[in-house]
Amino acid sequence: MRVEVQVRGEDAALVRSIARTLLDPAREAEARALLRHQFAKPPAVGLKALLATAPLDGIDLDRVRDEGRAVDL
């Protein structure tokens, strides 16, 4: 596959080197892993997962039940 990118002149040799490394069967797996580790977006985490990992020790989660106010109809 051919991909065209725009980079600064000083980075052109670096980008070409990365592309050659990704085509080299002896080095592609390691290069791909390094690039993914450095530049890949972390997987999206849902609210439920975030709440499950939240440190809730010492936080009072009980709430007072509010029955509302008496209203004459």
pTM of the predicted model, to two decimals?
Answer: 0.54
Each residue's pLDDT tens digit, 13-57: 999 999 999 999 999 999 999 999 999 988 888 999 888 888 888
HEC secondary structure over the chain: CCCCCCCCHHHHHHHHHHHHHHHCCCCHHHHHHHHHHHHCCCCCCCHHHHHHHCCCCCCCCCCCCCCCCCCCC
